[in-house]
Amino acid sequence: MKHEEDIKTPVVAILGHVDHGKTSLLDAIAKTNVAIREHGGITQGIGAFTVVSNSHSITFIDTPGHEAFAKMRSRGASAADIAVLVVAADDGVMPQTKESIAHIKQAKIPLAVAVTKIDLPGANIEKVKQQLVKEGLTLEGAGGDIPVVPVSSKTGKGLANLLEMIILLSQMANINSSKTAEFEGVIIESKLDRKKGALATVIVKNGTLHVGEEIVAEEVLGKVRALLNDRGENVKEASCGQPAEILGFASVPPVGAKVMGKGKSPQLSHLPQVKTQQSAEGRRLGIILKAENQGVLEAISESLPQDDINIIFSSTGDPTQADILLAKSTSAIVVGFNSAVSQSVSKLAETEGVLVKTYRLIYELIKELKEAAELFQEGKAPEIVSGKAKILAIFPFDKKKVAGCKVLEGRLSKGDKVKVLRGEDILGEARIVSIRKGKEEVNKAETAAECGILLSAQLDFEPADMILSVR
């Protein structure tokens, strides 16, 4: 028998493909739960809620799925103790299902599968199971221990079984914490309210959070002026596994930030660090692989050395923001073949410090990845190329040479470290001293722009040479 201070409410994240019924499942669980119904339903909408099943509490994170999950993990935190993978019985495994599986595997937390929409005409539970096995999930009944629970959010069928399975998984995983330990939590939602100021929803991972306590989320300081539970009620404290909205932060803390008492030194995990691209599998280079079709994807995967490169996730199509967040959370790089990187994805990659490389020739992709894996094993990080320009002409300027260039990819900025290449040979390295567009001096030049670039070192460059901005 566990002591009360060792009992923890397990925190569950619901992940899966869009339109597979994640929100409907959460709504059905909330509406059929007596503990919530007696309090008039979930009125506050703080991003999480707690239900009671057979005298056991369970907290569900009601967030935008795997994107928020990735943001938490990118900061070295995970609010969830258990994951429920939602797959529609009539649709089966889809791209975001695969992304969710990759997130769950990297988080290394217990998993249950909820097969939804079982009451629809095209439902095929056995087909879904077969697809999940192909994705590397070891299911119960197929030699594994991952439970599969058919559910209908419409009729409520299977919901009680799902809750029972979650409780069983938490007991088997021995998910414990202490109410008397130092407080630790994770931010799952945050916003700025015009009237109240900065608001943040926290999941308590250990200890107890009290009104009046001084806290810190990364570098954002705060004092808990008020706590609201998932029913919109003011409470004096929140204990292990419980969600609560905090009023009292000086500014809006980032989603995924660890929260702790002010006296405890926080890990400022979002600050710039030396990027070693350490993969979760040890000394293998982690990659997120994207390609134009499944055939090419398989050909590339089979050509890469498995002992040196770990394909964390692969799918068809262009790199997405979810891919960037997954790469951030797993210290991987994003590799695309015949893929286009949108401006929003490129900007996120730059913000998060994620290397994105795209290729048109398979042999170049394989060659460069093998070289990057060798560098990684030597403890060296692959360089991030933020801009590429071709030298079109050379102009004299004050006994120096100015490179008249056209930016082919990304952007070049004043102060950037650059390499000048002729074919595959490096002519030298320098920094950008000045960038001019016509007679106007500018701080940066972006894709398709023509400009004049003055370098700190007088390298022997010629027309057709390339300038790469690296970091």
Reading the block at residue 42, the tokens are: 């979930």
| Strand-pair partners of 115 | 87, 150
d(CA 395, CA 296): 44
Token representation of residue 10: 């397990």
Domains in the chain and their CATH numbers?
A: 4-172 (3.40.50.300), 184-261 (2.40.30.10), 278-377 (3.40.50.10050), 385-470 (2.40.30.10)
* Residues 84 and 162 sit within 8 Å (Cβ to Cβ): yes
CA separation for the pair 418, 237 (Å, rounded): 54
Q: Which residues contact 170 (CB under 8 A, 6 or more apart)?
A: 8, 10, 81, 82, 110
Q: Are 382 and 333 in contact (CB under 8 A)?
A: yes
Alpha helices in 285-393 (DSSP H): 294-303, 321-330, 343-352, 362-377
What gap in Å lies between CA 22 and CA 43, rounded to an integer? Answer: 19
Give CA–CA dist 393/415, Å, rounded: 21
Give Cα 453 distance to the centre of its chain: 37
Q: What is the DSSP string of 147-177?
A: -EEE--TTT-TTHHHHHHHHHHHHHHTT---
CA quadruple 272, 275, 278, 280: dihedral, nearest 10? 40
Q: Give the per-residue pLDDT at 77.
A: 56
pLDDT at position 302:
83
- pLDDT at position 45, please? 61
Give the whole-angstrom CA distance, residue 463 versus residue 465: 6
Torsion sign across C-alpha atoms 146, 151, 153, 157: negative
pLDDT at 179: 72
Distance CA 345, CA 357 (A): 12
Ranges of the chain whose pLDDT falls below 50: 1-5, 34-44, 265-282
Give the pTM: 0.61
